[in-house]
Structure 1
């Protein structure tokens, strides 16, 4: 059921879309990755777990923790945990995040789940990661909006969360130019990666939050020249019989059209470049049709970034090594629910259930070679929980789209959102 929370913390419930029991079970089990699999003291979300649910290490993912905030909301909405339990957990998570070193308000990619100390992602990647930070703040903003009651505990949580949200110095990450936001900065290695955040990819939410920032907003020209590349991100070609509005040929891995839309509601959302529901639908349809043309007669579909026989890789129709990731299909639930349900059942039956781990489906498999991952990944588990809930109730979309910085960001960049609540 969907819960709308009033200013006094009371709930007004309304019916949501029903799903079959086996689908609900996968939703619940995947949620438990974040509830049971996170660090028991800090609440920070471990980057990955073994398929049996045991920890591999104590590396916490910042974006995975962002998805964790979304998952905790979903757990409270579904009645899998109580609202008080959810509030206690997100408050613990915020206190742990406040201990972590930040770089002009941005978090590092990885931190130690127990101590919150930065863990370098690579030899020179030991500083701020703006995309990871945006995905963290997406979840944190939803949690801040969800816990809207006037109790002392909810008020304290909102204040703590708001301090982290407003501290991100988005304007500083433009390097003072009219161009893009820049992905990485390190006090020691500075801008050595020289990676612009340019579209089309998973980082649209970066620009929305940056443009709507209370203290450190960017200008519309950064979006149009930096993200949209003065229109160069537009595609318009047909693949598998479907016209793709934006992005690379065949759309690339599906997470590009999923991560930002765990919070951003694509329905009725448009700007001068496209209607975003059309983008998400087209990208998903192309990925689905490509996979089904390859695995004829089977409902195995979904190519994205995931584990594979040779480690973590980006998988897509244009970079195809035969790896299917359940997250890609399940996170497409709001767009293609019937196809997602068929995929769930096909995955569940594969080799008599070998894809089912402690927290839902394992990360990926390769039907042609019989390879099966022995891992769960936070950044793949999280979109499943969020997007299945957006299909069922839409609550995460409502929370995010009604947040003041999101409204400002959309308005400042010239977006239109026809279904936005006022």
Structure 2
């Protein structure tokens, strides 16, 4: 795989963005392919430029990495057989690694499988990170449909991990909502409800889709959809927002759950999810254009606020908490929702800012021109959405794979969703 890219020639040939997409996706893919953990194959939580990578791997980012590898195969950057062997390494490791009622921790040691606590009491199962993992694994199961021994083994291992996940356990005995964490040492003491509108939408979809430990639809309607920040309907910068907190929240809300879930035509009694995501992105963009805090660099060529690094640590960034730091993944993973607007950003990132934010694994996590601060880190949950959402814009590949899962289609139908994928599959 390439280790660097010179973008100058792309600006002399504007008729096609394909070479630019190829360069960005292929370079970003290196984070997962070249820097995956050498023992487990799983995705490291972050890599700091100039420092040797450690053993800490991230479960959610590993699911995104699985999806990125599929893109690599389709684009001819990784061989089918090499990627298959990497995926087998990953799922064989996951099968024997500790889990908690079938739910994996946020972080684990990629060499030993031991849980690495995310915080003092967060030392057990993380339902959200596990959902992001399974979103990727189910795409791999649908992609590798061959009848040779290796592909059958891969599908079988993914099914085992998928069917072992006890989503219903996270209702705490039947409460009408899902809870994020459970610990064998601290039980439910973190008491973090998964509700309102945020990045966790796919958790409820998968929980309703599970053939073995599925939740009742009442958990979705009575928990997730009843959170304080679920329904909105207010207008920001002359754009009406159907769901979510004021100004929409972090842009990861429009990305993480929709790496596999296809928002095109996806509707339920609460929202049209394509419309929701498009409007969320446009509000985020408009905020940066109007730039009420007068941060340097903001404008139509440079926008994108999400949870990410800042000069003062990791923060949840959004228009209601704008600290002056732009995350490249925030705009770039929004390509399906606002392609013309994001194209301007991509050209800017690959032009004037390239020497400060581009490296061997693509774009670094964030930057703040007002503070003259440029991250030296790559983060797995930043890099994955760049590769996957650009691909969904180009071909719809991951959307097609995930929505081809019969369990997912069944789960969406149980929850009362409409989708072209449900009609085409024969579901009502």
Q: Place the TM-score, normalised by the shorter chain, in its bin.
A: over 0.9
**Aligned to 2:236, which of 213, 234, 239?**
239
- Equivalent-residue separation in structure 2 for 1:140 and 1:126 (angstroms): 23
- Equivalent-residue separation in structure 2 for 1:231 and 1:61 (angstroms): 29
Report how far residue 19 of structure 1 moved.
Answer: 2.8
Change (3 A) 1:298 1:171: closer
Change (3 A) 1:20 1:418: closer
Change (3 A) 1:365 1:296: closer
- Equivalent-residue separation in structure 1 for 2:78 and 2:227 (angstroms): 46
What are the Cα deviations for residues 358-390 of structure 1, in whole angstroms up to 9, with x where unaligned?
A: 111111000211110000000110111110110
- Can you give the 5+ residue segments of structure 2 that lack an aligned partner in the other structure? 1-14, 292-296
Change (3 A) 1:58 1:393: same
Report how far residue 348 of structure 1 moved.
Answer: 2.3
Q: Secondary structure at the match of 1:343?
A: helix
Q: How many residues align?
A: 405
TM-score (norm 1): 0.93
Contact 2:196 2:228 in 1 (8 A): no
TM-score (norm 2): 0.92
Contact 1:327 1:384 in 2 (8 A): yes
- Equivalent-residue separation in structure 2 for 1:23 and 1:400 (angstroms): 22
Report how far residue 404 of structure 1 moved.
Answer: 1.7
| Partner residue, 1:33 | 31
| Partner residue, 2:68 | 71
Contact 1:330 1:388 in 2 (8 A): yes
Change (3 A) 1:249 1:243: same
Report how far residue 89 of structure 1 moved.
Answer: 0.8
- Equivalent-residue separation in structure 2 for 1:399 and 1:352 (angstroms): 33
**Aligned to 2:404, which of 373, 380, 402?**
402
Contact 2:288 2:299 in 1 (8 A): no
Q: Secondary structure at the match of 1:26?
A: helix
Range 374-383 or range 21-30, more displaced:
21-30
What are the Cα deviations for residues 207-254 of structure 1, in whole angstroms up to 9, with x where unaligned?
A: 111111110110111001110017961101111111100000000110
What are the Cα deviations for residues 177-203 of structure 1, in whole angstroms up to 9, with x where unaligned?
A: 241100000011000110011020111
Range 17-26 or range 363-372, more displaced:
17-26
Change (3 A) 1:352 1:24: closer
- Equivalent-residue separation in structure 1 for 2:229 and 2:29 (angstroms): 38
Please report the RMSD computed on the Cα atoms of aligned residues, expressed in angstroms. 1.6
| Partner residue, 2:215 | 218
Contact 2:231 2:242 in 1 (8 A): yes
- Equivalent-residue separation in structure 1 for 2:189 and 2:206 (angstroms): 24
Range 38-47 or range 131-140, more displaced:
38-47
Report how far residue 37 of structure 1 moved.
Answer: 1.0
- Equivalent-residue separation in structure 1 for 2:265 and 2:87 (angstroms): 31
- Equivalent-residue separation in structure 2 for 1:148 and 1:39 (angstroms): 26
- Can you give the 5+ residue segments of structure 1 that lack an aligned partner in the other structure? 1-16
Range 247-256 or range 115-124, more displaced:
115-124
**Aligned to 2:117, which of 117, 120, 133?**
120
Contact 1:49 1:377 in 2 (8 A): yes
